[in-house]
Amino acid sequence: NCNPETVSTDYDTSDRLYFEPLTDEDVISVIKRESENGTLCGVIVQLGGQTPLKIAAALEEAGIPILGTSPDAIDLAEDRERFQQLLQKLDLLQPENGIAHSADEARTIVERIGLPVVIRPSYVLGGRAMEVVHHLDDLERYMRDAVIVSGDNPVLIDRFLDHAVEVDVDALCDGTDVYIAGIMEHIEEAGIHSGDSACSLPPQNLSDDILAELRRQTTALAHALGVVGLMNIQFAIKGTDIYLLEVNPRGSRTVPFVAKTTGVPIAKIASRVMAGEKLASFNLKDVILDHVAVKEAVFPFARFPGVDIFLGPEMKSTGEVMGVDTDFGRAFAKSQLGAGTDLPLSGTVFISVKDEDKAEFVEICRDLVADGFAIVATGGTTDALIKAGVPATRINKVMEGRPHAVDAMLSGDIQLVFNTAKGAGAIKDSFSLRQTALTNKIPYYTTVSGSRAAGQAIRALRQGNLGVKSLQEHLAAISA
């Protein structure tokens, strides 16, 4: 590990710690040195994110045994064309996509699959330089900028699934049996990087049929990829269709969250499975939870002046917290408190949302008004709310002149902001709103589902029944 801080946090975890960069050459040198102390059984590459997977092939070439999933199976999941052939064989859905090496190729692909699209350079981590493109002008600009990030590597283009629900599944496989450790429903819509999206375990809005199909597809993929150890899959659900977004034949960042929520030591079991033990020996059963856990991302925006807090496919979070309670509203409220967001219990909510979100915000606003909040909104949003019978007062956008929404925020007249935008132009135009909210510590939500969850959390906080219960007490209730 090249981070010296590991000494203070994990000083009792390992026998030795090497401060070296994670490159093929350095890792092989460390393994050779350690091999002098006895027989090397093998190395585990599944518990260190994406980086170890990238050096797995080099380790295998150097004659170092890889425990668990083979480097070829890892490549099968990582290589876009091989993976596409596998999905066709298994008859699983994937968003329409293409690979572009030039602006002309990108335009041709977009004409074939239609806008909007998710576009990203290949071989980058954390969704770097990934963007949802709604207009052809944005595509031209992106292709000019993407060359700087991806160099000679191609650009990947996928059809973007509007208003889809994203789901993370963590599973264990020993080559024979598959154990599904957790199915997590993202709170933010598909299009927000999974590391930045809050998620709920158990899922709150998925039918039994959808859950059964997710389990079937996960099991089929684990067998087809030859997974031995951990696997993480990201799905998008639109209506009754399930689309496969990504498969990672490794431990994901959600593993600690699932383990804490269910009480099943997933990483420990996976390590023993990789070393040759069978899942059957652990007597694992599906855990029926009587509590809800919400994972929320923690963002460093306050430390970086001028950074846009609008969430998208490029990862921006630097940490995570979790809230646990008997229902979703209370669990989400706790996750917001843990992440440093103080939701208001009264006051005024400012709302400015794109056209296709207006209908969904009617119900959110109706509930807020019932809870005693006043609503101020931009022109189009105000019209939609009043037409639906929800009282709202019109306020100017910044570009419409003063007094406008930012003035009201600076004057302390707004306690909560809901703002959704589509396209690079609209996102840029609403930047001052988000910046003002950040600097004045006003809670701010940029998605429909995040705003709805915030409304539920406010209701739970207003009822004043947030209790404190240890994680162990929640887990004891499961086993009882």
1 pLDDT band, cuts 50/70/90, is low
Exposed / middle / buried, residue 8 (Cβ in 10 Å: 0-12, 13-18, 19+): exposed
pLDDT at 37 over 60: yes
Helix (H) or strand (E) holding 180: strand 178-189
Helix (H) or strand (E) holding 145: helix 136-150
C-alpha distance from residue 241 to each of 96, 218, 235, 406, 459 (Å): 14, 15, 10, 41, 32
Nearest-5° angle of CA 104, CA 121, CA 53? 145
pLDDT for 168-211, tens place per residue? 999 999 999 999 999 999 987 776 777 778 899 999 999 999 99
The answer as to CATH 3.40.50.20 being correct for domain 6-68 is yes
62: Cα separation from own chain's centroid: 35
CB atoms within 10 A of CB 10: 11
pLDDT at 237 over 50: yes
Q: CATH: 3.30.360.10, 3.40.50.1380, 3.40.50.2300, 1.10.10.60. Which one for 338-463? A: 3.40.50.1380
Q: What is the pLDDT of residue 260?
A: 93
Give me the residue label for tokens 């929404």.
Answer: 405
| pLDDT winner (highest mean) among 9-23, 272-286, 297-311, 409-423 | 272-286
Give the Cα separation of 144 and 139 in Å (integer): 9
Give me the residue label for tokens 């408190």.
Answer: 337
What is the mean predicted confidence (pLDDT) over 341-345? 92
Q: CATH: 3.30.1490.20, 3.10.450.50, 3.40.640.10, 3.40.50.1820. Which one for 96-159? A: 3.30.1490.20
User: Contact 254/199 with Cβ under 8 angstroms?
Assistant: yes
Tell which residue, 313, 280, 278, 296, has the closest CA to residue 120: 313
127 pLDDT band, cuts 50/70/90, is very low
CATH 3.30.1490.20 domain span(s) along the chain: 96-159
Helices of type H across 253-340 = 255-262, 266-274, 328-338
CATH 3.40.50.1380 domain span(s) along the chain: 338-463
Q: What is the pLDDT of residue 425?
A: 66
**Mean pLDDT of the residues in the chain:** 85
pLDDT at 241 over 90: yes
Q: What is the pLDDT of residue 72?
A: 83
Of the listed ranges 267-271, 310-314, 404-408, 437-441, the least confidently predicted one is 310-314
More confident residue, 242 or 139: 242
Q: What is the pLDDT of residue 149?
A: 46
Tell which residue, 438, 195, 234, has the closest CA to residue 317: 195
pLDDT at 40 over 70: yes
pLDDT for 263-318, tens place per residue? 999 999 999 999 999 999 999 998 888 899 999 988 776 666 666 666 766 777 77
Give me the residue label for tokens 């933010």.
Answer: 188
CATH 3.40.50.20 domain span(s) along the chain: 6-68
Q: What is the pLDDT of residue 364?
A: 94
126 phi, psi to nearest 5 deg = 65, 25
Q: Which tokens hold the place of 42?
A: 């093998």
253 pLDDT band, cuts 50/70/90, is confident
Q: What is the pLDDT of residue 89?
A: 92
